[in-house]
Amino acid sequence: MPTIGIFDSGAGGLSVFREIYRTLPEAGYIYFADNAFCPYGDKPRDFIIFRARSITDFLLSQGADIIVVACNTATAASISTLREEYSSPDRSVPMREHILDLSAGRHDCVRFIGMEPAVKPAAMLTKTGVIGVLATAGTLSGQKYRRTRDVYSGEVEVVEHVGEGFVELVESGCVSGAVAEKTVRASLQPLLDAGADVIVLGCTHYPFLIDVIRQVAGPSVSVIDPAPAVAHHLVEVMQDEGLLHQPLPASPAFMPGSMSCCMPDGSSAAVHSFVPCDNILLCSSGSPDAVKRLFPVAFRKQSRPI
Ligand code: DGL
């Protein structure tokens, strides 16, 4: 089975990872949380592109065969650049050599799967004709989201709000209780007041707050997490690319080891890693605490326990 590289600004992408794992439990997984620079939400686009490149290089060097950008903000800022630089058919020879080098000759171009804001399914589901989107400022101002929204904004009204403080809550492990409820209500209430009966979670951290979001929104409001659709799309792409059937050199069982990745100042810094089971390597550029805390929460409901 191939090895799937997944990254996010922090532990939020674990909400996507768990859906992928549910579909492909036998694959190898390298998850990278860029905690040293979390949150990405209001960081400049160029900075996020720089981080996305460094993390892609790291994932390829550890054996990834395909990359999932499990972060709406990083998808909005960087996926077209990543596709152009690592996957374009007219890629320059130096980049091809770079990829061949990093992937130990396994690949000379790389496929990237990004997050899609689930505006289309929300538009099909709404009865009030109003859908609400919760996301980071970076995602809401990105071209990718705006284009999708504009396609549907003739048919339905789309109202948006930044999930203020949601990423920080999730990273600190505060996913229930009074503080979580107060924080969620402050950003969700304006969407409910506008008449939204479907809420799209446009940030991969937010599904960790889904119980609180459902409780504040009430039973007549549907909440959409796009992660299952992303997992489904990944499988389709892997099938098309022959990654599911073509025998690839078996990835060795992961072991924690000393690893490093490139920092914005050009230095390299240690990457924390741990291995909850032999086909999963969890890495983080900063403190590993959030990933260690949220991994069991994300994988608690797996049919194949880890
Ligand atoms: N989980 C991310 C997203 O999907 C990043 C949030 C952040 O770092 O601000 O947008």
Give residue-wise pLDDT tens across range 162-173: 999 999 999 999
Classify 56 as helix, strand or coil: helix
Residue 37: how many other CB atoms lie within 10 Å: 17
Q: What is the pTM of this model?
A: 0.94
Higher pLDDT, 187 or 117: 187
Structure tokens of 281? 């390597």
Q: Are 152 and 120 in contact (CB under 8 A)?
A: yes
Structure confidence at residue 305 (pLDDT): 44
Q: Which residues line ligand 1 at a C-beta cut-off of 6 Å?
A: 8-9, 12, 38-41, 71-73, 136, 139, 167, 203-205
According to DSSP, residue 206 is labeled G
Ligand 1 centroid vs 132 CA: distance in angstroms? 18
Residue 148, pLDDT above cutoff 70: yes
Block residue for tokens 């439990």: 25
Per-residue b or e along 39-49, where b marks 16 or more CB atoms closer than 10 Å to that residue's CB:
bbbebeeeebb
**How many whole angstroms from its chain centre is CA 283?**
14
Structure confidence at residue 304 (pLDDT): 47
- Positions of E strands within 144-194: 157-162
Ligand 1 centroid vs 286 CA: distance in angstroms? 16
Residues counted in the chain? 306
Q: Which of 19, 32, 40, 55 maximizes ligand 1 atoms within 8 Å of its Cβ, making it the mutation to test the pocket?
A: 40
For residue 70, the ligand 1 atom closest to its alpha carbon is: 4
Give residue-wise pLDDT tens across range 176-211: 999 999 999 999 999 999 999 999 999 999 999 999
Ligand 1 centroid vs 215 CA: distance in angstroms? 22
C-alpha 142/C-alpha 139 separation (Å) is 5
Give residue-wise pLDDT tens across range 54-82: 999 999 999 999 999 999 999 999 999 99
Structure confidence at residue 250 (pLDDT): 58
Q: Is 205 annotated as a binding residue?
A: yes
Residues marked active site are found at: 71, 203
Structure confidence at residue 151 (pLDDT): 94
Q: Is the peptide bond before 39 cis (omega within 30 degrees of 0)?
A: yes
